Structure 1
Amino acid sequence: MLVLALFFGSAHAAGVTPCSQQQLLAYAPDASEVKMHRSFAAPVISYPYGTKMAGWGWRLAVRVDEAGRVACYATKDQFGDDLPMNAARQAFLDGLAGWRYAPFVRDGSATAAIVVEQVSEQESPGRHLPLPGVPLVEVHVALGRSGCYGSCPRYQVDIRGDGRVAYQGDAYVDVIGRHEYNVPAADVAKLVDSLRAKDIWSLRSSYRARITDNPDYELILTMGGQVHRLDDYVGQSAGMPAAVSEFEDEVDAVAHSAMWTHLSRESLERLKAEGFRFDSRDGADLLARAMANRDSRDDGAMLELVKLGAPLDGSAFDAPWLRQRGGTVLDDALRNHRSQALVDALVAEGALTTDGRPDQNKIDAAFREAIEGGRLALVQRIWAVAGTQAHPSLSFKDVEGKISRQSPVTLLLSRPYDDDSWEGLAIAQWLAAQGCDLKAKATNGRTLLHIAASANDAGFVRYMLDAGVGASTPGEYGLPALGSTQNEDVAMILLQAGTDFSRMDDTNHQFLRYARSNHWARVVAWLKAHHEG
């Protein structure tokens, strides 16, 4: 890591100056692209023990020129306000001239870019406390992860020096209950080496950020008769070194926590060895939890669980109100776009029947979930299932407040923010071929154009405009689709298509500020050329 120690004294002249408003307009790559282009370690500033800070960590935006050099910068705190300066932060900024990125390329040419980096700040230990030197058999490392206001996994792992491990899954994990097993003692020895290298024994016992509704993590480190507890509640926002979070992940890796929190073939083998009854109520609930957990991706393990006889009527969560809606295991499988082999197995096991007969209500519900899941092959798979009708219904009951009507199922499309494989356009085109009205409005006013813009899908937006949906068509709250996108290409398509965004802001200033905050150079230029004055 790049670490700058705090020093006191006047700041020297900076080699890189603050950006003007105009300089902050350029191509804005996402975090994954930035990481690939960065040629230095993620930035960290270290402060002496006992330093008082209103907030730890801040956001740094830098303009990177075509050669990958930093041209200027802008700083904001974690709440988007102006960043208070101190000597360490100024020294950090003075070093920006030495940063290098691989050039960012668009349309085959190197281009200037606005890169956003999160600068971590951490407190150094007050003094170094050497890790007690004890035999490995006297080492005990425990990690507990609590829940949050949501569906954060809640579990504990205990690792003994001789390789004995105990896992206890409590909530929002696929496998619940206590499970004991062994890992190589050599892995535990490496964990102790990492504990020593990261100097965690010297750190505070608690790092708690002044925010709410987040998970709490606790490390309990026992070395012979000596114990060090460390409470991490969003600790990196309270000065905790990032090494603690790294060590927590290492504990999970040694304990193989992931095989329990997310169903896997490994966890199935261990459950078999324990004599777990897969055809029981517990087996049904295990299948339901895994199927509903969108972060669990081992569809092969879920398929094997079905083949092992797990019933299809299990309950996914102890708190059902956190689920999007009630539904079956198949509904969850379709919503989370599981493999077609897994979906086929669930259908073969009777997921779409009642008392051995096709159930049209189940078929229609599954079709809607497949559309929400965003995979054309699964939509087509359920379309082929006949009940009392040859195909599932192409409409659904669309309720908004006291208004209720039948709307085309195309309006169920919605792209999750992290789903890069979403097939919304292909599904919309296929549904249109089956008879769905592309120009329909939901009861709240939303159209497919709004859905396409919200998905940041330029191809989908062009398709909807070509289908005759007007760029200014009002949607929810009377806003045009332009108000739904976070993508400059989509915004430009809609502006050039004649969007009237007076409903968004009569003076244009609000949207102009939004465009500037997103570093949209082309949009800002277009707004100035067409609406300035």
Structure 2
Amino acid sequence: MTRMRRISFGLLLVCASVAAWARGRRFLVPFPSVSEPSQVRITLARGGCFGTCPSYEVTISGDGTIHYRGEAFVLVTGDHTAHIDPKTVALLLDSFRKAHFFGANNVYRYNATDLPTYRMTVVVGSRKKSVVDYWGEKAGMPREIIDLEDLIDKAANTALWIKGSDETASALTQEGWRFGAHDQDHIALYLRAIQVGNAGLKEAFLRAGAPVGTKVAHDSLWPLREDTPICAATGKGELLLVQKMSRQLESLSPEIDTECMSAAARSGSVAMLQFWTARGVRPSFPREETGDDVLPSAIQSGNPELVRGLLADYKPDLHLIVGRETLISWLFSHSHFGAAEQRQKTNAMAQLLMQYGADVNATGPGGTTALIDESFFEEDTRDLLMLGADPTAVAQNGDTALSRAKQYRCPVCVMLIEQALDKRAATVPAP
């Protein structure tokens, strides 16, 4: 019986070893021979993820022709063609041969969610092989197979379209790209080029007289803060580019004027803001603002000089609501996780706003103050109390800073608020 147990245990070890080997190793399947380069196609498709993973497909043919299709979170979308030396394709194909690609598993999939799926496909004559990589490294995918993905990208120079380079503008020119076109796809590329700072593309669009004041529909595949090229350049603080663009138009619509003014504030550039005010654009300060309006945008820029200029020149009412929060509450809610230096800037900005009339104890729609809103963040609680926040304030639903701190289990917040309450009680004269 003991001998049988030993044999069974040994067989289990062998089976486990074979299973582990099979998950990652490739079978030695002969690689197909290539008689004509036209028989070869190598494709890499990278899918999206829960985030901003570049999504595109590129195919390299044996004669050196490259077909690229950009789908999401890439600089250049759509279908594009390029060419490389056929010898480069031959070397790439040899890498697949050495990696025993045709003997790899069809799928390497790890049990996880929200990750990108990559697929490589090689066609040689009548033979075809695809390998799917879904975090394959964790599923036993051999490193030699994984590395082939990057080799395809390198051979096809996909960075030309994905991130952009000094060669992107010339490559598009060779394709016959019309930089001066007025359609949405062309203007969207103009916006993305400004956002990533691709000098060659920006110059090509500017030289071609591309429209600078035309709005682009919201693009969920490449989020843009601004919808027009001139406002995008404004938001990036590119004063020289904005000046050149402005020569192409007499005036903009009030809607775009407002967008560009907010972008100027967001850039943190006093000179940019002055450029737009010199054109006759005046900032507006609605009673209920969004984070994209002029004053919140200026505050987010972190430039106190710019904010001080707006407050001094236009004297806006600072008892306003930003995204259902008071101005001070909104300021602190956007700086929870800042480093010490950032927190110092936040406190300095709060003091500046209070100097011009902002109230640290102002109440929002639910009757909450900044301290009640932020009482479960230790740093915010400490800073707001130092700015004079009232620890006795009560919201419409009965919440207080102390009850919120206890509810969200912030013991340091509780201690700070209790100390502030004790200090206040000690200063109140007995009846």
* Residue 285 (1) aligns with residue 185 (2): yes
Summarize the Cα distance change of 1:127–1:174 in structure 2 as closer, same or farther, 3 Å threshold.
Answer: closer
2:161 to 260, 267, 273: 260
Structure label with greater radius of gyration: 2
The equivalences for 1:102-501 within 5 A come to 125-130=23-28, 133=31, 137=37, 140-147=41-48, 153-160=54-61, 163-170=64-71, 173-184=74-85, 185-186=87-88, 189=91, 193=95, 202-207=104-109, 211=113, 216-222=117-123, 226-232=127-133, 235=135, 239=139, 248-281=149-182, 285-292=185-192, 296-312=196-212, 316=216, 327-335=227-235, 337=236, 339-350=238-249, 353=251, 360-386=254-280, 391-396=281-286, 398=288, 409-413=294-298, 415=300, 422-437=301-316, 439-442=318-321, 444-453=323-332, 454-455=334-335, 456=338, 457-458=342-343, 459-465=345-351, 467-468=353-354, 469=358, 471-475=360-364, 478=368, 480=370, 483=373, 492-497=382-387, 499=389, 500=391
CA distance in 1, matches of 2:214, 2:58: 26
CA distance in 2, matches of 1:192, 1:503: 69
Shift of 1:159: 2.2
Percent of pairs with identical residues: 19
Equivalenced residue count is 384
The answer to whether the 8 A contact 2:182-2:211 is kept is yes
CA distance in 1, matches of 2:136, 2:52: 21
Summarize the Cα distance change of 1:195–1:341 in structure 2 as closer, same or farther, 3 Å threshold.
Answer: farther
Summarize the Cα distance change of 1:492–1:349 in structure 2 as closer, same or farther, 3 Å threshold.
Answer: same
Q: Deviations over 1:207-260 (max 9, x none)?
A: 265646x65432224466554323345x36974759577654453333222322
The answer to whether the 8 A contact 2:190-2:229 is kept is no
Summarize the Cα distance change of 1:287–1:473 in structure 2 as closer, same or farther, 3 Å threshold.
Answer: same
Greater percentage in strand: 1
Shift of 1:439: 3.3
CA distance in 2, matches of 1:124, 1:463: 61
* Residue 506 (1) aligns with residue 403 (2): yes
Secondary structure at the residue paired with 1:309? coil
CA distance in 2, matches of 1:224, 1:331: 51
Summarize the Cα distance change of 1:300–1:366 in structure 2 as closer, same or farther, 3 Å threshold.
Answer: same
CA distance in 2, matches of 1:424, 1:195: 57
Secondary structure at the residue paired with 2:79? strand
Code of the residue aligned with 2:202 in structure 1: it is M
Secondary structure at the residue paired with 1:370? helix
Secondary structure at the residue paired with 1:508? helix
Secondary structure at the residue paired with 1:159? strand
**Can you give the 5+ residue segments of structure 2 that lack an aligned partner in the other structure?**
1-8, 10-15, 394-398, 423-431
Shift of 1:480: 2.0
Secondary structure at the residue paired with 1:395? coil
Shift of 1:326: 8.2
**Counterpart in the other structure of 2:5:** none
Greater percentage in helix: 2
The answer to whether the 8 A contact 1:449-1:461 is kept is no
Q: Deviations over 1:431-469 (max 9, x none)?
A: 223234473322644344334321333213233135434
CA distance in 1, matches of 2:325, 2:142: 43
Q: Normalising by the residue count of structure 1, what TM-score does the alignment of the two structures yield?
A: 0.56
The structure with higher relative contact order (CA 8 Å, sep 6+) is 1
Shift of 1:505: 5.9
Q: Deviations over 1:89-117 (max 9, x none)?
A: xxxxxxxxxxxxxxxxxxxxxxxxxxxxx
Give the CA RMSD over aligned residues: 4.8
Summarize the Cα distance change of 1:448–1:379 in structure 2 as closer, same or farther, 3 Å threshold.
Answer: farther
The answer to whether the 8 A contact 2:109-2:133 is kept is yes
Shift of 1:297: 2.6
Secondary structure at the residue paired with 2:42? strand
The answer to whether the 8 A contact 1:452-1:460 is kept is yes
Secondary structure at the residue paired with 2:403? coil
The answer to whether the 8 A contact 1:157-1:166 is kept is yes
Code of the residue aligned with 1:368 in structure 2: it is S
**Counterpart in the other structure of 1:36:** none
